[in-house]
């Protein structure tokens, strides 16, 4: 993956996304997020409306949550999707392997599989077990198509299965325009990207938690894309692991 795209990957990506949360009752909650990504390891998510000044910031190995312009939480951790759809193609192989290992992915285990007749490399498991942490890589394009994570809480264990769809060329770079999140076999969240731009200048202050409010980028989507407030911080679907399970 790194060898194929080293020196040929975007350094920044900005986009908006329509989000849909699917409740077990059948209710759908829609929203809009603005996102700014810088390789490696930085991702800012602003929930609309921007006037609420709420969102999440991934910077290095810290995750910061903000609610109404004020810090709500801060903890160690990485966003595995940020690593697998951006950082892995640009940063050193050793760094990516270390980060993925800390998140519980066993990168020493690789097997072959297929999806829709397309060959895939499956990293993280030696057998066809879709309950353990793993990611699926298209054998031709070497783009990540699926990420599976297992989470354990005090009362239960769940499996999150993330599918990356509709890869589209943006300024010469492939970007997944649709991401589907399943939990224990049920679709519970969908992201649909629009207004995607690659390699635009992003001020370092955007990724500084101390400047969360001051550095907010103000432009909002067109009126037809304003679907109301997005889900609150606690519904952020991108899973992360700060304390990997012992193997």
- Give the pLDDT confidence score for residue 222 in this predicted structure: 52
User: For residue 240, is it within any domain?
Assistant: no
User: For residue 226, is it within any domain?
Assistant: yes
Q: Inform me whether the pLDDT recorded for 224 exceeds 70.
A: no
Phi-psi region of 223 (alpha: psi -120 to 50; beta: other; left: phi over 0): alpha
User: For residue 164, is it within any domain?
Assistant: yes
Tally of structural domains, the chain: 1
Place of tokens 């109301």: 228
- Give the pLDDT confidence score for residue 218 in this predicted structure: 77
- Distance of alpha carbon 145 from the chain centroid: 12
User: For residue 225, is it within any domain?
Assistant: yes
Closest to 189 in 3D by CA, of 23, 7, 46: 23
3-state DSSP assignment of residue 33? strand
CATH number (domain holding residue 39) = 2.50.20.10
Share of the chain above pLDDT 70, in %: 87
pLDDT band at 235 (very low <50, low <70, confident <90, very high): very low
User: For residue 149, is it within any domain?
Assistant: yes
Q: Inform me whether the pLDDT recorded for 244 exceeds 60.
A: no
Q: Is the peptide bond before 42 cis (omega within 30 degrees of 0)?
A: no
- Cα distance between residue 225 and residue 222, in whole Å: 6
Counted residue by residue, the chain has a size of 247
Helix (H) or strand (E) holding 87: none
User: For residue 199, is it within any domain?
Assistant: yes
pTM for the structure as a whole: 0.87
CA separation, residue 161 to residues 120, 165, 183, 184, 209 (Å): 16, 13, 6, 8, 30
- Give the pLDDT confidence score for residue 60 in this predicted structure: 80
For 178-223, the pLDDT digits (tens) are 999 999 999 999 999 999 999 999 999 999 999 999 999 976 555 4
- Cα distance between residue 193 and residue 69, in whole Å: 25
For 15-73, the pLDDT digits (tens) are 999 999 999 999 999 999 999 999 999 999 999 999 999 999 999 889 999 999 999 99
Residues spanned by the domain of 28: 2-235
């Amino acid at each position: 993956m790194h060898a194929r795209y080293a020196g040929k990957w975007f350094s920044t990506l900005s986009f908006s996304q329509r989000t849909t949360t699917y409740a077990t009752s059948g209710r759908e909650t829609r929203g809009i997020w603005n996102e700014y990504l810088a390789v490696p390891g930085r991702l800012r998510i602003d929930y609309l409306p921007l006037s609420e000044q709420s969102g999440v910031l991934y910077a290095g190995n810290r995750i910061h949550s903000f609610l109404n312009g004020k810090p709500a939480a801060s903890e160690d951790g990485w966003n595995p999707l940020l690593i697998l759809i951006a950082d892995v193609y640009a940063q050193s192989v050793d760094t990516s392997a270390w980060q993925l290992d800390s998140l519980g992915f066993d990168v020493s285990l690789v097997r072959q599989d297929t999806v829709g007749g397309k060959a895939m490399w499956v990293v993280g498991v030696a057998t066809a077990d879709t309950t353990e942490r793993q990611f699926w890589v298209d054998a031709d394009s070497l783009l990540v198509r699926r990420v599976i994570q297992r989470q354990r809480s005090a009362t239960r264990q769940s499996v999150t299965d993330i599918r990356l769809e509709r890869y589209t060329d943006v300024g010469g770079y492939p970007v997944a325009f649709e991401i589907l999140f399943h939990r224990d076999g049920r679709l519970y969240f969908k992201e649909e990207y629009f207004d995607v731009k690659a390699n635009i200048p992003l001020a370092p202050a955007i990724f500084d938690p101390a400047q969360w409010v001051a550095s907010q980028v103000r432009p909002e989507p067109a009126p037809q894309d304003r679907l109301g407030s997005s889900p609150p911080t606690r519904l952020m679907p991108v899973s992360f692991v700060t304390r990997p399970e012992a193997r």
